[in-house]
Amino acid sequence: MKPIIQELSDLFVTAFHDAGFDGKYGDVVISQRRELCHFQCNGALSAAKVYKLNPNDIATKVISSVKPNLIISNTSIAGAGFINIVIKDEVLVEYLQFMNSDDRLGISLDLFPKKIIIDYGGPNVAKPLHVGHIRSAILGEALKRLSRFLGHDVIGDIHLGDWGLQMGMIIASLQQQSPDLPYFDESFNGEYPEESPVSITDLQEIYSNASKDAKTNIEKLSEARKATFELQDGRVGYRALWKKIVDISITDMKANYSLLDVEFDLWKGESDSHEFIPQLLNYLQINNYTYKSEGASVIDIREDQDKHELPPFMLIKSDGSILYSTTDLSTIWERIKEYDPDEIWYVVDKRQEIHFTQLFRAARKTKIASNTLHLEHIAFGTMNGLDGRPYKTRDGSVMRLNDFIQSIIDKAYNRIIEVGVAKDFSVNEKREISQMVGVSALKFADLLSHRLKDYIFDIDKFTEFEGKTGPYLLYTTVRIKSIIRKAIENEIDFTCFQVPKSFIERELMLKLMELDDVLNQAFKYKEPNQICEYIYTLSLLFNSFYHEHHILSETDNSQRESWLCLSRLTEKILVTCLDICGIRTPERM
């Protein structure tokens, strides 16, 4: 069954065409003024500029050309040719009945599914995850889940930073501290120890000290660069030690990301593209895509329409070392060879915009990426503390991700005790619920803000059970679950909707009907905030409906059945949308 908005668009595309205008002006949108109408067609204003006619005259002709149908109750014209559309209650009820009986809530799978690789996460090995890694993880996970729900084949890749100078710093520093380890003996030809010589805590301390030394000591920096080169060149002991470091780091990362219910299909890093670099460089050289600039190998990425000159894309430095730009281009090469994707999305901080402009141009100009491969930088702003600056600990250092998440979960637990939620539950169940509440507070706040904006995370505000918060949505969903559970326990049947009897009931029905449009618009513009706004408004409407109508105690059986159907569909949609956002819902609270 087609979404109602699509049925209306089809009607008005035909009506515009039959009235003598281009059918492209017939798109129908959801009305933002429900007191006036349910939908609007605003194409007459745009058409008026092209056809040099009065928009109201165009709208009048279009309305008179609308074919007889069973959907529209009435139409009217407002302002500069805006066509207001009211649909029949019976049509609304029929569509909700379809949504309620459909496992996918009436959402069709995309007719032309794409294979999409989403590059999100991007942490560096041997360094603790911190609050700066949150937005990429939360946004990337939501986009992955949304894309899959709509039928696309999606591969999520963490794309670790495991091949750069920080690895050389750690190896050189560890070699100085423990020179007798077999990893540093070039003549060693036995089996390396199964157990790692360092823990994740050791790594963090070693890296911190090595990084400081490299900034102030040229000799230390030189040693780190030499170790990096030898690692990348294949020195056996260094490779074995590097593997231990990567494994330990990944284990720690998985524990942190699991707290956020964030999962990756691929745990690849820059190192995985290293084997493709010789092929890449050979291809570029043979086809004359590179040239020398001050001893470095670069690609010219300038375009005639550039308002500001972009520097060339550097592949190999004058000293022969590679950069992350090299591994990024090699990763595109690798992904095309191994996965043949239709699209590659990079969910990365907006401050990397210039780098991705250079990378995408280099891939296009060298014909590594065909014109059919869509490359997109899905940029985002920063999450800040109450002072408007990136989150820091009290001593001014960057707050670790685990500590930050735990502080929110602890706050959620205290909030649960404070408001009396789950008061008769066991301590373990309260802890489990507080984790879901805390993660919902963090994720909903992050996704609610448009991804390009910086925003302030106020832990007190976003852990409240009232207002535009994750806990409010969970509480609403659990309330509906309770209603449905009681109805089932009392053996009340509910399978059929009735036409709405009140304004708030109709408003709730119309909002439920918007689901298809919301999800597809969120996918089109890569904006999960549209889903967040939708489920918040849906929750507000349901709670208003709940307070005006005594659902379980209603004596009219048909009316009670309809209201229970309405409640169940609301609950299904809330749970589905929260899951797309990566937020789990408790069964009770």
- How far apart (Å, rounded) are the C-alpha atoms in residues 142 and 137? 9
Determine the Cα–Cα distance for residues 3 and 314; give it in Å rounded to an integer: 49
pLDDT at residue number 541: 98
pLDDT recorded at residue 280:
96
Mean local confidence (pLDDT), 96-122: 96
Same domain, 425 and 536: yes
3-state SS assignment for residue 257: helix
pLDDT in tens, 383-437: 999 988 877 766 667 788 999 999 999 999 999 999 998 888 999 999 999 999 9
| Pair (59, 171) in one structural domain | no
Last residue of a domain, one of 233, 259, 285: 259
Q: List, for residues 215-259, the tens digit of each pLDDT value.
A: 999 999 999 999 999 999 999 999 999 999 999 999 999 999 999
Q: Residue 442 pLDDT more than 70?
A: yes
Domain C-terminal end among 87, 111, 126: 87
Ramachandran region of residue 261, left (φ > 0), alpha (ψ -120 to 50) or beta?
left
Q: Which residues in 252-278 are b (16+ Cβ under 10 Å) and which e?
A: bbeebbebbbbebebbbbbbbbbebbe
pLDDT (mean) for 530-541: 98
Instruction: Clarify whether residues 436 and 564 are in a common domain.
Output: yes
pLDDT band at 352 (very low <50, low <70, confident <90, very high): very high
b/e map 136-149, b = 16+ CB within 10 Å: bbbbbbbbbbbbeb
- When pLDDT is averaged across residues 506-518 and rounded to a whole number, the result is 97
What pLDDT digit, counting tens, does each position of 183-204 carry?
999 999 999 999 999 998 899 8
pLDDT at 409: 97
Structure token pair of residue 363: 């891939």
Q: What is the pTM of this model?
A: 0.94
Verify that 522 and 415 share a domain, yes or no: yes
Element of type H or E holding 349: strand 343-349
Domain count, the chain: 3
Output the pLDDT for position 239. Answer: 96
Domain end among 87, 115, 148: 87
CA separation (Å) from 212 to 166, 397, 492?
11, 14, 68
Separation between Cα atoms, residue 143 and residue 529, nearest integer Å: 11
Question: Please, which residues bridge with residue 266 across strands?
Answer: 157
Spatial contact of 341 and 115, defined as CB atoms under 8 Å apart: yes
CB within 8 Å of 288: residues ≥ 6 apart: none
141's enclosing H/E stretch is: helix 134-149
Domain housing 526: 401-580
User: Measured between alpha carbons, how far is residue 38 from residues 52, 245, 361 in Å?
Assistant: 29, 58, 44
Residue 414 and residue 520 share a domain: yes
Rounded CA-CA distance 583/572 in Å is 14
Residue among 334, 351, 347, 352 at smallest CA distance from 375: 347
Report pLDDT for 355.
Answer: 96
- Let me know whether 443 and 555 are in one domain: yes
**With contact defined as beta carbons under 8 Å apart, do 346 and 356 qualify?**
yes
pLDDT at 182: 97
Q: Examine residue 109 and state whether it is found in any structural domain, yes or no.
A: no
- Dump pLDDT digits (tens) for 287-332: 999 999 999 999 999 998 888 888 999 999 888 888 889 999 999 9
Across the chain, mean pLDDT equals 95
pLDDT of 396: 63
What pLDDT, on a 0 to 100 scale, did the predictor assign at position 393?
Answer: 64
The pLDDT assigned to 395 comes to: 62
Over 70: is that where the pLDDT of 471 sits?
yes
CATH of the domain at 36: 3.30.1360.70
